[in-house]
Amino acid sequence: MTGLPRGATPWLHDVGRVIARYLYRPAYRIRVHGAARVPRTGPVVLVANHSSMIEPQLIFGMLPRRSVFLVKEEMFSGPAGWGLRRIGQVPVKRGVPDREALRTATGVLRDGGLVGVFPEGTRGAGDVAQAQQGAAWLVRVSGAVVVPVAVRGTLNPTGRRRFRPTVDVLVGEPFTVDVGRGRAALAEGTERIRGTLAALVEELDRQREEKQRQ
């Protein structure tokens, strides 16, 4: 059991995690809170907010176990695409239901792995004002627990370069979602996941504001 899709190379995945763990440390002050909350075994759907290209690598590197992320298919071209596949990441089409990507992710979860999803679907403010239904669907078919992760500090709201800004990664408590059959149940499960993640982002914003005032 590798927790990775077919065709992935486990040792390359592990090397990639080490690289990601330290890749941005020269440019950012990175603070990780609650990493111990990530279950070490069993199927997990990790959901995170998304406001820049940095969050996926940060989360990938800080996790205490192997992880498979759904990554927009535009990234899978040339050598970068080869590398992403070899470390077990899954291309997904944005804006449409991608059955192949979901099928691959389901296989990882049924093998006891961790799948990462950015439910907003694209980069933005990162406040999780809306969410797509892929994460709830994966929970429904796999019975996985959900782990929310909030990331703040990767955006530069002033438009000016900052010297080693602080980036915070906050892992929330794992929770379960009973996603029943039908569209209404899928929409309800999606809203539960979205609301929980959005609340975690708000909590991280409050924590960062308090530290700035100190």
pLDDT at res. 78: 79
Given a cut of 60, whether residue 159 has pLDDT beyond it is no
> Of residues 142 and 80, which shows the higher confidence score?
142
Q: Which of 3-12, 40-49, 88-97 has the highest mean pLDDT?
A: 40-49
Nearest CA-CA partner of 148 in 115, 171, 124: 171
The number of angstroms, rounded, from the C-alpha of 201 to the middle of its chain's C-alpha atoms is 13
Nearest CA-CA partner of 202 in 90, 104, 114, 126: 126
Q: What is the DSSP string of 84-109?
A: HHHTT-EEE-SSS--HHHHHHHHHHH
The number of angstroms, rounded, from the C-alpha of 98 to the middle of its chain's C-alpha atoms is 18
Given a cut of 80, whether residue 65 has pLDDT beyond it is yes
Q: What's the whole-model pTM score?
A: 0.90
pLDDT at res. 1: 66
Contacts of 212 (CB under 8 A, 6+ apart): none
* Helix axes of 183-213 and 134-142: crossing angle, nearest 10 degrees: 110
Segment 19-30 shows an average pLDDT of 88
Tokens 């390359």 belong to which residue? 12
- Cα distance between residue 109 and residue 45, in whole Å: 8
Given a cut of 90, whether residue 11 has pLDDT beyond it is yes
Residues 79-132: tens digit of each pLDDT: 878 888 899 898 887 766 678 888 899 999 999 999 999 998 776 777 788 888
pLDDT at res. 102: 86
Residue 94: C-alpha distances to residues 41, 55, 119, 132, 143 (Å): 29, 18, 11, 10, 24
Buried b (16+ CB within 10 A) or exposed e, 10-39: eeebeebbeebbebbeeebebebeeeeebe
Given a cut of 60, whether residue 52 has pLDDT beyond it is yes
Segment 153-166 shows an average pLDDT of 72
Residues 148-158: tens digit of each pLDDT: 999 998 876 65
